[in-house]
Structure 1
């Protein structure tokens, strides 16, 4: 199945990559194609099974695949529990404070603010988190 997820990620990045100037209609068509692709990916997301979700767990540690994962999780409902910590670690290690929201928001939606705060506190000692100021960046997005 990982080949299938790899293909979907490649398709996603192909769609969002700038290819010159696009007309308003072309932008609309591209945005609809991105929305359809992310929706199909979220709909075929395996249930909360770490083995079936291993591609996502691994992808959250890779640029740029982690951005594809964040987009899929933005529409997945609920986010599989086994992805909670990997998503939060991605947020904690994200150098861009605004981009960390893409990893935190789906967790808050699925698990609630208090649980996300608890998990962030538990993950604060993960290597690289302090260097990136990750706790403050991630906590900013928890209501």
Structure 2
């Protein structure tokens, strides 16, 4: 296993991946998930989304435990645990707004709020490419060693 990955390493691996599953505790006390577009990650590992102001889950979810799950093309899986805060801060909304966001909110910024997951921990799992996995399986069979199929780790934020 190589050196522990950093938040920056993981952001680089996931560059271009905009879709995440955000899981929160619903009004019944059970877990509920929904796909959202990631606006950005900050240097502390926090994740920001723009969400519909009138979404049922938004009012019930503020300051609750939350989890963000992201996977790229099948070589990096990321789970970010933290607390969800809903913000109506117009300056933050302006910073996060882009053309992609405008497509989801037909009435503009007035329909949106910021969902900010303040992270406590990033957990990750990585896998080698398919060709490397085949090589590792063959090598393990020949040498009777365990195949090196990737890495995993935790980053406390």
What TM-score do the two structures reach when normalised by structure 1? 0.25
Comparing both structures, which one devotes a greater share of its residues to strand? 2
Structure-2-length-normalised TM-score: 0.24
- Determine which structure has greater relative contact order: mean sequence separation of CA pairs < 8 Å that are 6+ residues apart, divided by chain length: 2
> Higher Cα Rg: structure 1 or 2?
2
